[in-house]
Structure 1
Amino acid sequence: MGELLGTTVELQVTNVAHGGVSVARLDGRVVFVADSLPGETVLARISSDDHQSFWRAETVEVLEESPHRRLHVWKAAALDRDPDRRAGGAEFGHIDLPWQRELKRQVLVDSLQRFARLENHPALEVQVEAVEGDDAANGLGWRTRVSLHVDDDGFVGPYAARSHRVVTVDALPLATQAVEYASPLDERLLGTDRVDVVSDGRRGARVVVGSAPAGKPIVERVGEREFRLDELGFWQVHHGAARTLTEAVQQQVLPELFDPSAANLDLYGGVGLLAAALIDRFTPDVRIESVESDASATANAEFNLRDAANASAATARVDRYLGQLQRDASTAERQALARASVIIDPPRAGAGKLVVASLIDLHPAQVVYVACDPVAFSRDLAQFSAGGYELRSLRAFDLFPHTHHVEAIGVLTPR
């Protein structure tokens, strides 16, 4: 181990892998190759060879290029920069935009087949849909939030790809114009290690050095509804993502199974975006509780849902909240939960075994799963399937152009 580290090798790239890299083999060993494309022959520098089952490498030259390769949209992340200095956060920026979506589709379908054991299922025909306006903009100018880092000498920039090294850049092409303009890329900041630049799309952008003052709000708008949140609180990064997800949930939820008087839930509910989607889709009288572990987000959710008399917000970890329901729910409450529609929008690690097991036990009429990681989603889906649920519909969205990330929404019902 270690004898190949830093050496340059020729690799035949065969297929895409989850995480924004492609796959090659060297002496029978899997090599995950950054900045490459399936079908290419590349020279790549081995950056990690200490893992028993795989190595990692960074492309330094393309010998035979894919027809889907394009000039990188971000000069700071392009091949002519040394791999150690390439900016992270645009790992698909060298790929034609429609082909990025095809690669994301392949990763999603492969995950569903390998981890959820789906075969010959209609969901495998899923396509990754673009957000309105992204094709015309070549997938640029969508980030309304950027987190930058500050090194020990005060230089500001993103991390280099797959590292915690700060690299300096002179542009942020994935950011909105307001965010890019406000970002202190040419300044030196001492006494902090982080800078956030945040825009709600209407009033320019705010620069937040270090931690945000407690309780400082911004307002986001989705359709006719406004949402209050803390300026560093969670919100979808793409300027069109909140609207896209709202409309997708409203379209995919099965109306014949939706009961406004049931004990409906919005788990990992944040500031109430998807709870509001159901309220606006059906009736202001919908009974629904948003559950979120962050107390500030919960307070904002309660404020944002104040026009719905039967909506509430609870501050709790989702696994503990569901565990308490399992222990304490009366017969009537369990019946209300069995009629319920449940939205889950977990973090990248997925809902996990405890949460899925609790939902299976509580047996809601439908689960609308909003997933930001295809592997975690597929693993949770396998557990749902073993517990008697089936995937009724699936859509996928390209909410993060020029990155490997893909968002999926699946609806599950009892068999």
Structure 2
Amino acid sequence: MPRPHRPVRKNSASRGARPADTGGRATRGRRPSTPVSTDGPVLELDVERIAHGGIAVAHHEGRVVFVADAIPGERVSARVTDAAHTRFWRADTLEVLTASADRQAHVWAEASVDRAPERRAGGAEFGHIAPERQRALKAEVLTDALRRMGGVEREVEVRAVDPELAPGVRADGTGWRTRVRLQVAEDGAVGPYAARSHTVVPVASLPLAVDELADLAPLADRFQGARTIDLVAPSGADPQVIVTDESERMPRGQRPVTTEVVGDRRFAVDRDGFWQVHRGAAATLSRAVQELIDADRFDPRAANLDLYGGVGLLAAAVGDRFGETVRITSVESDERATMHAGDNLAEWVGARAVTARVDRYLASLEADAGQGERARLRDATVVLDPPRSGAGRDVVDRLAALRPRQLVYVACDPVALARDIGLLRAHGYELEELQAFDLFPNTHHVEAVARLAAIV
């Protein structure tokens, strides 16, 4: 059993580069609550499908209604909360009139449809849906995005994480979050934001968190003058509760470093830096990247690249599969992450870590590479794991101009992935394989790993 930590109150001398990851960026100062109508009209709606973002779609008198906390096939009573748009409205489910066979008691009581919408905790928007149906809905969204934006007809299966890679994670999709951010209200009360709001909701439980964080969470305490409470449970270090004061500003001084373990390998990472949040995510993605690289196309002596490389997780996965002769450059804009990547990849003589924006790094390769280096780039395998917004047109254009043999693209947003696949197809790359994983159970998020190859 990990040794519990007393809350650490951070000040300007100890702040990390970025907050414990909960799917969003840090904000400076407390954000105002989002106004939500509580007196809009109540409609009876037949729910048709799930849209990107996890909101169900219905129609009322020809207008699209995006309704929260519903499942396709249900009939619900929902209150309109936003009617400002002419083409669509937004609504919250108040009562389920005809329930889906896949509706279950919400895994997080504080997010249940039984509570008033403005008091429902955010961050578990699929928690009322049976796990198998959750994965099926995510597959539908990814399949639809690939067809509409990528021009690809492909049936997708979203897999549950292998239990061997995620000890302690339960079959109902709880007990997986190793990093959780809680907000602090004006009166010092602690909790998550309400769904689709910046109102802090006090809660008595954190079922998505790994057990050691759920046990440590100071949910009944008051933190007057604090801004956020970060709960962090690295796989290679003790769990911690970290309090960030309202007065905290830019980071100064030494940043705390922790250790994450994937298989037999240890990775140094800033405690407040980016790391995959699901207990089994790093191992799952490492394995997927290893499986999707086509060994017949892989040249260990080529100018292989790991773009948006972080602390070197996926570059290490490539090295572990193909051996000590692998040549690979990990490119990351965060200087601290690059520093750790250099240490984490030190055993490979041909590995190096570069601090640079990916678009600028690719532009410099295109401008400065000699004939020999261009040939090594054409023989290369490129792994890329961009942020939620995807790589985008500029990076895709520059990458395609270098013409690497194969690309292995790790994505946490189905629409961004599909858009970039469409852009790559226009440059003569085709999608060959795709794996998708439920790395965010009880939410709408899904992770996918795709291999694309240059078609001669």
The answer to whether the aligner puts 1:59 opposite 2:93 as a matched pair is: yes
The answer for the alignment partner of 2:14 in structure 1 is: none
Match of 2:255 in 1: 215
CA contact (8 A) 2:131 2:172 kept: yes
Partner Cα distance (2:203, 2:236) in 1: 26
2:420 matches 1:386: no
**1:23-42 alignment, distance < 5 Å:** 23-42=57-76
Q: Structure 1 residue 244 and structure 2 residue 274: aligned?
A: no
1:45 to 2:85 alignment: no
- Mapping 1:115-194, distance limit 5 Å: 115-119=149-153, 124-133=154-163, 136-194=170-228
Which position in structure 2 is the counterpart of 1:364?
Answer: 404
Instruction: State which drifts further: 155-164 or 4-13.
Output: 4-13
Q: By how many angstroms is 1:204 displaced?
A: 3.9
How far the C-alpha of 1:3 sits from its partner, in A, is 10
Deviation at 1:329, TM superposition (A): 1.4
State the SS of the aligned residue for 1:58.
strand
Q: Match of 2:264? A: 224
3-state SS of the aligned residue for 2:296? helix
Q: Distance in 2 between the 1:4 and 1:164 partners?
A: 16
> Which letter maps to 1:77?
A
Sort the Cα spacing of 1:76 and 1:4 in 2 relative to 1 into closer, same or farther, 3 A: closer
Residue 4 of structure 1 deviates from its aligned partner by: 10
Give the CA deviation at 1:95: 0.3
Partner of 1:138, secondary structure, is coil
Specify the alignment match of 1:94 in structure 2.
Answer: 128
Name the residue aligned to 2:7. Answer: none
Q: Deviations over 1:102-138 (max 9, x none)?
A: 000000000001111113xxxx222111112378531
Contact 1:5–1:49 at 8 Å: present in 2 too?
no
Deviations 1:352-399 (A, max 9, x none): 010000111011010000010000000000000001100010010000
Letter in 2 for 1:375: V
Secondary structure of 1:314 counterpart? strand
Q: 1:395 aligns with which of 425, 435, 438?
A: 435
| Higher relative contact order structure (alpha carbons within 8 Å, sequence separation ≥ 6) | 2
Give 3-state SS (helix, strand or coil) of 1:125's partner: coil
Return the offset for 1:260. Answer: 0.5
Instruction: Measure, in 1, the Cα distance between the counterparts of 2:352 and 2:430.
Output: 29
- The correspondence for 1:18, drawn from 52, 71, 76, is 52
After superposition, give the CA deviation of every residue in 1:252-302 in whole Å (9 maximum; x if it has no partner). Answer: 100011111111110010100000000000011211111111111111111
Q: CA deviation at 1:209?
A: 1.5
CA distance in 2: counterparts of 1:24 and 1:77, whole angstroms: 22
Residues 263/203 of structure 1: CA separation in 2 closer, same or farther (3 Å cut): closer
Match of 2:300 among 246, 260, 266: 260
**Distance in 2 between the 1:409 and 1:7 partners?**
42
RMSD (Å), alpha carbons: 1.6
Distance 2:83 2:388 in 1: 26
> 205-214 or 22-31, which moves further after superposition?
205-214
* Percent identity of paired positions between Structure 1 and Structure 2: 54
Is the counterpart of residue 315 in structure 1 residue 345 in structure 2?
A: no
Q: Distance in 2 between matches of 1:85 and 1:48?
A: 17
For the Cα contact (< 8 Å) 2:37–2:81, is it kept in 1?
no
Contact 1:271–1:297 under 8 Å retained in 2: yes
May I ask how many residue pairs the two structures share in their alignment?
410
Out of 273, 276, 281, the position equivalent to 2:316 is 276
Q: C-alpha distance in 2, partners of 1:191/1:303?
A: 38
Tell me the equivalent position of 1:377. Answer: 417
Please say if residues 264 and 289 of structure 1, whose CA atoms lie closer than 8 Å, have aligned partners that are also in contact: yes
Q: Does 1:196 align with 2:196?
A: no
Provide the C-alpha distance between the structure 1 equivalents of 2:381 and 2:352, rounded to a whole number of angstroms: 15
1:34: Cα distance to partner?
0.6
- 1:388-415 deviation per Cα after TM superposition (whole angstroms, max 9, x unaligned): 1000100100001100000011000011
Structure 1 21/3 Cα, relative in aligned 2: closer, same or farther at 3 Å?
Answer: closer
Distance 1:255 1:158 in 2: 45
TM value normalised by structure 1: 0.96
Q: Matches of 1:317 and 1:406 in 2, distance apart?
A: 25
Name the SS of the counterpart of 1:381 in structure 2.
helix
AA aligned opposite 2:92: E
| Aligned-partner Cα distance in 2 for 1:386–1:61 | 47
- What SS does the aligned partner of 1:200 have? coil
Ranges in structure 2 where 5+ consecutive residues have no aligned partner:
1-35
State the shift of 1:191 in Å.
2.2
Q: Assess if the C-alpha contact under 8 Å between 2:185 and 2:200 holds in 1.
A: yes
Q: Distance in 2 between matches of 1:71 and 1:272?
A: 40
Task: Give, in angstroms, the shift of residue 151 of structure 1.
Answer: 1.6
CA contact (8 A) 1:68 1:99 kept: yes
Counterpart Cα distance in 2 of 1:125 and 1:35: 26
400-409 or 323-332: which moved more?
323-332
Please give the alpha-carbon distance, in whole angstroms, between the structure 2 residues aligned to 1:186 and 1:232. 24
Residue 336 of structure 2: which of 270, 277, 296 is its match? 296
Q: For residue 101 of structure 2, what is the amino acid of its counterpart?
A: P
